[in-house]
C-alpha cells in the first residue's frame, strides 16, 4: 500500500512510468529460513558486482546497487536497518543534504563513531539501501566477516529521504528521530500538489511507532499541522530574522509565499514576519493556529567578512533554547544555514544529547557540495549554490548577495532532476541579481532567464538586455569568469543537473573535491 502513495501510478499522465514506479515493481512478500539467507547473499553479491561494474565504467554507484539488491531480496532494507542505532531520517524540500551532514557531525562527535549516511544526496529508496549496503561492507571488512555488526558495535544512521520515498523508507527502517526541514512548493511536475505530500505524510506519521520523535520547523504551518495531529513528541526549531540577516533590506528576495491556509477555517494565514517563502510567524486571524515557540532558535550573528585565504565562508549563529544561549561558527550562510544548524541541534536534542555539546560539535562545520561551496578558479572566487525552487533560490541568492559579488552565473536546466516546469522563476525576485555588474545565463532554459530578467519585479527597471546567454554551462562559466575582475567573486546559482555539469568541469581541473558517495 505504501508504495502506491508516491502516486506515480495514479498520475503518470502521458508517461508510462516514473521514478517511484521502480519501487512498486519491487514489492513482494519476504520469505524466511535458508532460502531467505541465500536470497540475502545473492542480493549483496549482485549489489557488489553492480558497484564494481559501475566503478569500472567510471560511474558513481549511489543508487543502482540498492535497486538490484532489493529486486533480489525485497526485505533487505528492513534487515540492513535492523542493526543500526540510532536511526535519524531527514526529509523536506530544502536543506536535507546539509542537515544530514550536520547531524552526522554531531553524532560522530558525541559517539566517537561516524554514522552511515547518503552524503551524495541519493535519497530515493534505492539510494538509502545502497548507503546501508556500503556501510555493511565496511563493517564486514573490519570485523573480518561479512555478517551484521555485533550489538555493542552498532553504528548509527543519518539518512536523507526524498519526500515521496519517505513513507516506504520510514516503514522499513523504524527511525528514532524523523526530521522534517520544511515543505515548499517544489517540482510540481514531479511531486504534484503539496497537499498530496502533506496527506501522505499525515498517514505515515500515524503508522510510526509512538516512540518516534519528530523534529520540525516551527515556522512552517503545514509541518506544525502535521506534528499536532501526529501525537508524536515533537521538537521545534526556528530562526527569527535579525538585523544582520535582515528581511527588510532584501524584501524582494523573499520568495513569493506558497498559499498556506488555516487547517480549521481555510482562511489564508497572517504573518508578522517571514524569513523565506511561507516560513514565518504565522497565525490564523480567527485564532485557530499560531506558531509555537521553538525549542531551539538560531539567529545569524552576522556573516563574517570572508578571509581570501579561507576556503569556507563562515557565519556565526547564536542559539537560544531551554539550556540558555550558545554560539557557533558554521561555514553556512544565510537563513538556510541558520535553519539547517537549528534543525541539527533539534535532532540532537531529540536523540537525548546535550544541546551545548551539539552546538560545540557544529563549530567549524562546512557546507555540502554545491551548497554555497567555494572554489578558486582562474584567480577568481567562485561560489556554487544549488537552486531548486523559489525558496532555495531566494535563500541562496540573499546569502550570496551579502558578499556583494562581482558576477553571477544563472544556470537553468529542465531535465527531470531539475524539474521540467521552470515557471517558478517568476515566483522569486530577480532585480537584486540583475544589478550585479556581470550577469551570465546558461542552461537549456537560459532564454527563459533572459525574459525573466527583462521583465524584472517592479522594484526598478529590468535589464533590457543581458550579455552572455550561452546554453553550454562550461563555456558560459569561462565567458562569465573572464568578465569578472581577477580576485573578484562569481556566484553560480544552478539547478541540479546544471550544477553537476559545472562542478564536473571544476572537479576535472582539480579545483573542487569529488562528490562523496
Partner 1 sequence: VSASPARGRRLRLAHLFPDLLGVYGDAGNVRTLVVRAEARGIEVGVAEVCAGARSMPAADVFLIGGGQDREQVVVASELRRLAAQLRTQIEDGAAVLAICAGYQMLGRTYRLADGSSVEGAGLLALETVASPDRLVGPAVARLDGWPDEQTAERTVVGFENHSGRTTLDPSARPLATVEIGAGNNGTDGTEGVLAPPGADGMAGLRVGTYLHGPLLPRNPHLADALIAAGLARGGPQEPLAPLDDTAEWQAHRHHVERLRAAHAARERVPARLRRIIDPARNLIGF
Q: Is 288 in the site for partner 1 (CB under 8 A)?
A: no
Among the listed residues 35, 6, 32, the one whose alpha carbon sits nearest the alpha carbon of residue 21: 6
Residue number, 382 or 466, with CB nearest to partner 1 = 466
Query: Of the ranges 12-20, 96-104, 327-335, 507-515, which one interacts with partner 1 (CB under 8 A)?
Result: 12-20
Residues 89-128, interacting with partner 1 (CB under 8 A): none
Widest distance between CA atoms in the chain: 72
Residue number, 341 or 442, with CB nearest to partner 1 = 442
Per CB under 8 A, the list member of 112, 151, 465, 486 interacting with partner 1 is: 465
Q: Is 454 in the site for partner 1 (CB under 8 A)?
A: yes
- Any idea which residue has 486571524 for its cell? 285
Q: Is 354 in the site for partner 1 (CB under 8 A)?
A: no
Q: Is 472 in the site for partner 1 (CB under 8 A)?
A: no
Q: Is 447 in the site for partner 1 (CB under 8 A)?
A: yes
Per CB under 8 A, the list member of 27, 142, 376, 455 interacting with partner 1 is: 455
| N residues, the chain | 517
Per CB under 8 A, the list member of 452, 480, 494, 499 interacting with partner 1 is: 452
The three-class DSSP label of residue 298 is strand
> Is the separation of the CB atoms in 182 and 236 below 8 Å?
no
> Residue 297: which H helix or E strand, with range?
strand 296-303
Q: In terms of DSSP H, where are the helices of 57-162? A: 64-72, 76-82, 96-111, 125-143
Residue number, 67 or 221, with CB nearest to partner 1 = 67
Q: Is 147 in the site for partner 1 (CB under 8 A)?
A: no
Distance CA 290, CA 197 (A): 22
Q: Is 364 in the site for partner 1 (CB under 8 A)?
A: no
Distances, alpha carbon 189 to alpha carbons 24, 60, 142, in Å: 20, 26, 45
Q: Is 57 in the site for partner 1 (CB under 8 A)?
A: no
> Is the separation of the CB atoms in 237 and 258 below 8 Å?
no
Distance CA 442, CA 471 (A): 5
Q: Is 11 in the site for partner 1 (CB under 8 A)?
A: yes
> Is the separation of the CB atoms in 106 and 361 below 8 Å?
yes
Residue number, 135 or 389, with CB nearest to partner 1 = 389
Per-residue binder mask for partner 1 (CB under 8 A), 19-38, x = binder: x-xx----------------
Number of residues lying near partner 1 (CB under 8 A): 53
- Any idea which residue has 481555510 for its cell? 266
Per CB under 8 A, the list member of 147, 246, 268, 308 interacting with partner 1 is: 268
Residue number, 213 or 445, with CB nearest to partner 1 = 445
Per-residue binder mask for partner 1 (CB under 8 A), 378-417, x = binder: -------------------------------------xxx
Residues 160-199, interacting with partner 1 (CB under 8 A): 185, 188-189, 192-195
Going through 357-426 in order, the beta strands assigned E by DSSP cover 371-377, 380-386, 407-411
Q: Is 277 in the site for partner 1 (CB under 8 A)?
A: no
Q: 86 preceded by cis ω (within 30°)?
A: yes
- What's the alpha-carbon Rg for the chain, to the nearest Å? 22
How many Cα atoms are found within 13 Å in the side-chain-facing hemisphere of 407?
A: 27
Which cell numbers hold the place of 179? 526530521
Q: List interacting residues with partner 1 (CB under 8 A).
A: 10-19, 21-22, 63, 67, 185, 188-189, 192-195, 256, 258-259, 261, 266-268, 415-417, 420-427, 444, 447-448, 450-452, 454-458, 462, 465, 497
Amino acid at each position: 500500500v505504501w508504495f502506491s502513495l508516491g502516486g506515480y501510478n495514479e498520475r503518470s499522465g502521458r508517461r508510462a512510468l516514473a521514478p517511484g514506479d521502480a519501487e512498486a515493481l519491487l514489492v513482494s512478500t519476504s520469505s524466511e529460513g535458508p532460502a531467505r539467507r541465500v536470497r540475502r547473499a545473492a542480493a549483496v553479491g549482485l549489489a557488489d558486482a553492480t558497484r564494481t561494474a559501475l566503478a569500472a565504467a567510471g560511474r558513481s554507484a549511489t543508487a543502482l546497487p540498492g535497486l538490484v539488491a532489493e529486486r533480489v531480496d525485497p526485505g533487505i532494507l528492513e534487515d540492513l536497518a535492523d542493526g543500526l542505532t540510532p536511526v535519524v531520517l531527514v526529509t523536506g524540500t530544502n536543506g536535507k543534504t546539509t542537515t544530514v551532514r550536520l547531524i552526522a557531525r554531531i553524532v560522530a562527535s558525541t559517539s566517537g563513531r561516524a554514522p552511515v549516511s547518503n552524503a551524495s544526496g541519493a535519497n530515493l529508496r534505492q539510494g538509502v539501501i545502497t548507503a546501508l549496503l556500503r556501510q555493511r561492507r565496511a563493517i564486514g571488512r573490519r570485523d573480518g566477516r561479512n555478517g551484521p555488526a555485533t550489538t555493542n558495535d552498532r553504528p548509527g544512521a543519518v539518512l536523507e529521504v526524498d519526500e515521496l520515498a519517505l513513507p516506504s523508507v520510514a516503514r522499513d527502517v523504524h527511525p528514532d528521530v524523523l526530521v522534517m526541514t520544511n515543505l515548499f512548493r517544489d517540482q510540481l511536475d514531479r511531486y504534484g500538489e503539496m497537499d498530496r505530500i502533506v496527506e501522505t505524510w499525515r498517514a505515515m506519521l500515524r503508522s510510526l511507532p509512538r516512540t518516534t520523535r519528530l523534529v520540525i520547523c516551527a515556522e512552517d504551518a503545514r509541518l506544525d499541522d502535521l506534528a499536532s495531529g501526529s501525537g508524536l513528541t515533537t521538537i521545534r526549531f526556528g530562526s527569527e530574522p535579525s538585523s544582520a540577516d535582515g528581511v527588510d533590506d532584501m524584501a524582494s528576495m523573499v520568495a513569493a509565499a506558497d498559499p498556506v491556509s488555516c487547517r480549521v477555517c481555510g482562511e489564508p494565514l497572517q504573518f508578522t514576519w517571514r524569513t523565506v517563502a511561507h516560513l514565518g510567524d504565522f497565525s490564523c486571524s480567527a485564532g485557530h493556529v499560531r506558531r509555537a515557540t521553538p525549542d531551539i532558535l538560531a539567529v545569524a550573528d552576522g556573516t563574517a567578512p570572508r578571509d581570501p585565504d579561507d576556503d569556507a565562508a563562515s557565519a556565526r549563529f547564536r542559539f537560544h533554547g531551554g539550556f540558555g544561549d550558545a554560539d557557533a561558527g558554521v561555514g553556512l550562510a544565510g537563513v538556510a544555514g541558520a535553519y539547517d544548524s537549528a534543525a541539527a541541534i533539534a535532532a540532537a536534542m531529540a536523540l537525548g544529547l546535550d544541546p551545548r555539546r551539539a552546538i560545540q560539535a557544529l563549530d567549524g562545520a562546512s557546507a555540502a557540495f554545491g551548497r554555497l561551496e567555494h572554489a578558486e578558479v582562474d584567480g577568481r572566487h567562485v561560489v556554487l549554490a544549488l537552486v531548486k525552487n523559489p525558496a532555495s533560490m531566494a535563500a541562496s541568492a540573499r546569502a550570496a548577495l551579502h558578499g556583494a559579488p562581482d558576477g553571477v552565473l544563472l544556470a537553468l536546466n529542465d531535465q527531470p532532476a531539475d524539474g521540467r516546469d521552470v515557471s517558478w522563476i517568476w515566483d522569486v525576485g530577480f532585480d537584486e541579481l540583475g544589478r550585479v555588474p556581470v550577469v551570465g545565463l546558461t542552461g537549456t532554459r537560459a532564454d527563459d532567464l533572459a525574459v525573466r530578467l527583462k521583465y524584472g519585479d517592479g522594484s526598478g527597471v529590468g535589464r533590457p538586455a543581458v550579455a552572455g546567454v550561452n546554453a553550454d554551462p562550461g563555456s558560459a562559466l569561462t565567458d562569465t569568469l573572464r568578465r569578472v575582475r581577477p580576485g573578484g567573486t562569481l556566484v553560480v546559482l544552478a539547478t541540479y543537473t546544471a550544477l553537476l555539469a559545472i562542478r564536473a568541469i571544476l572537479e576535472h581541473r582539480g579545483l573542487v573535491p569529488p562528490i562523496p558517495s
